Structure 1
Amino acid sequence: MTDSPSCSVCGKSGEIFRCSGCKTRFYCGRECQTSDWKSHKRPCAAAPKWYDKHRVCSDGNNHEGRLELITWDCPEAEYGSLGWGACSSDEADDLKKKFETEFGGDEEKFFEYWPQGFRWTCCGTDAGMEYGCDHHGSGSQPCSCDFCGMGKPLPASIFNEKTPSRHGLNLRRGPDPRSFNRFAAIHTATSRTMMGLEM
């Protein structure tokens, strides 16, 4: 039988929660977590994260940001009002309850069930899409998106689109100068035109 965890700051036991970043520190409440943050911030950031194994994209690039559960509403979303977990507002409360009860608040387990409810902070891409990290120049590797490859910034309609996964992030519009390829740009522009995609 294992002992139940106690608060890493005051030693209190009972209702204890784990640091969502490193999973190694325990707290009895916000006050203890806040008081511990100055000394805990650096080791927490350096600790391996549960989502590290999900960083590699299908195009070979890596996400360099954090994987965050979307817990905010986006009433101005293009396809209607979206709520907690980036699902429709009328289903958000049920999804949140499922996360808390069925998954016990475990983000890693919930991610396997509902990846589209998470976002990568490096590019504002929802984690249900695995095609690449559209960081438009903020990453250590060249951006692999069509627009950066063509040497063009994101069109205003895409850059200004309201989505839960982009909410609150200060994202670049590009282009990433490292990504431009003159020959690939011609091919990409032709392909996007044929498929009726935005240029």
Structure 2
Amino acid sequence: MPAARESGRCFTCRIEMPGNQIKRCGRCKGPQYCSEQCQLADWPSHKGSCQRQTVWYDKYRACEDGSIHEGRLELITWPSPTEGTGWGACLLEEADDLKRKFETQFNGDQNKFFKYWPQGFRWTCCGTDGGMTWGCDHHGTGKKPCTCDYCRAGTPLPDDIYRERSATRYGLRLERGPDPRS
């Protein structure tokens, strides 16, 4: 299990760890653990999803709080009139320039473009943008219990959050919760 640089929480025991102590699954580089014991304890639930990296965004699935995104990371290519954003979830006036940069400077390579503009992507499991690394609020659809405050309190998302209209949630049918396992 190679060490990572960022700080975060153990996926199994939820303990906070400094960056030099984080260990990740050596095969898929996904979940982060505080020890080999925690990795072994999580293996029965993790082994079904553990694969060698096959898509470019697999290395970004693990969040700082120890949760894992289980959806796809996709480039936002649609406008959001409520936010005034266009292609790449940037200001409408800058969308054409950003798209041109993606096509010319990055040659359409989403992996390279993600490093430059992570907020232009979204996770399909929770509707958060690619630049947010604090957790996947899946509200009951993931392999592990959701760790958001609403699920832990046993309450569903309030209307103003659940019905939020944004580029990152466009076209997704997200769970409202609460996750009964939280």
Determine whether 1:61 maps to 2:67.
yes
Q: Aligned residues: percent identity?
A: 65
Instruction: Report the 3-state secondary structure (helix = DSSP H, G, I; strand = E; otherwise coil) of the residue aligned with 1:56.
Output: coil
Deviations 1:22-59 (A, max 9, x none): xxxxxxxxxxxxxxxxxxxxxxxx98111001000000
Match of 1:72 among 71, 78, 98: 78
2:137·2:146 contact (CA, 8 Å) conserved in 1?
Answer: yes
Paired with 2:96 and 2:152, the residues of 1 have a C-alpha distance of 41
Determine whether 1:106 maps to 2:112.
no
Paired with 1:87 and 1:153, the residues of 2 have a C-alpha distance of 30
- Following TM superposition, the consecutive aligned residue runs of length 4 or more in structure 1 with deviations greater than 2 angstroms are none
Structure 1 residues 171 and 107: alpha-carbon distance in aligned structure 2, compared to 1, 3 A threshold: same
Paired with 1:149 and 1:87, the residues of 2 have a C-alpha distance of 33
2:53·2:59 contact (CA, 8 Å) conserved in 1?
Answer: no
State the match for 1:88 in structure 2.
91
Structure richer in helix, relative to its length: 1
State the match for 2:157 in structure 1.
154
Match of 1:164 among 145, 162, 167: 167
Paired with 1:88 and 1:134, the residues of 2 have a C-alpha distance of 26
State the match for 2:135 in structure 1.
132
Instruction: Report the 3-state secondary structure (helix = DSSP H, G, I; strand = E; otherwise coil) of the residue aligned with 1:119.
Output: strand
State the match for 1:194 in structure 2.
none
Q: Given the two structures, how large is their TM-score scaled by the length of structure 1?
A: 0.64
What are structure 1's unaligned runs of at least 5 residues? 1-45, 180-199
Paired with 2:147 and 2:94, the residues of 1 have a C-alpha distance of 34
Paired with 2:154 and 2:53, the residues of 1 have a C-alpha distance of 36
State the match for 1:51 in structure 2.
57
Q: Given the two structures, how large is their TM-score scaled by the length of structure 2?
A: 0.70
Which structure's CA Rg is the greater one? 1
Match of 2:181 among 143, 164, 178: 178
2:75·2:120 contact (CA, 8 Å) conserved in 1?
Answer: yes
Deviations 1:125-159 (A, max 9, x none): 10111000011111111111111011111110011
**C-alpha deviation, 1:67, in angstroms:** 0.4
Instruction: Report the 3-state secondary structure (helix = DSSP H, G, I; strand = E; otherwise coil) of the residue aligned with 1:91.
Output: helix
Instruction: Report the 3-state secondary structure (helix = DSSP H, G, I; strand = E; otherwise coil) of the residue aligned with 1:166.
Output: coil
Instruction: Report the 3-state secondary structure (helix = DSSP H, G, I; strand = E; otherwise coil) of the residue aligned with 1:52.
Output: helix
What are structure 2's unaligned runs of at least 5 residues? 1-51
